[in-house]
Chains A and B, each alone.
Chain A
Amino acid sequence: DTGVSQNPRHKITKRGQNVTFRCDPISEHNRLYWYRQTLGQGPEFLTYFQNEAQLEKSRLLSDRFSAERPKGSFSTLEIQRTEQGDSAMYLCASSVGTDRSNYGYTFGSGTRLTVV
Chain B
Amino acid sequence: KNQVEQSPQSLIILEGKNCTLQCNYTVSPFSNLRWYKQDTGRGPVSLTIMTFSENTKSNGRYTATLDADTKQSSLHITASQLSDSASYICVVSLGSGGYNKLIFGAGTRLAVHP
Contacts and interface: CB of A to CB of B under 8 A. Distances in A.
Contacts of B36: 107
Contacts of B101: 45
Given A91-B43, A102-B93, A105-B46, A45 B99 contact: no
Q: How large is the interface on B (under 10, 10 to 19, 20 to 34, 35 or more residues)?
A: 20 to 34
Given A31-B99, A55-B98, A107-B43, A40 B32 contact: no
B114 interface: no
Contacts of B107: 40-42
Interface residues of A, number: 29
Interface in B36-76: 36, 41-46, 49, 51
Interface of A: 4, 6, 31, 40-45, 48, 50, 55-56, 89, 91, 93, 95, 97, 100-103, 105-110, 112
A101 B102 CA distance: 11
A45 B43 contact: no
A31 B102 CA distance: 14
A43 B44 contact: yes
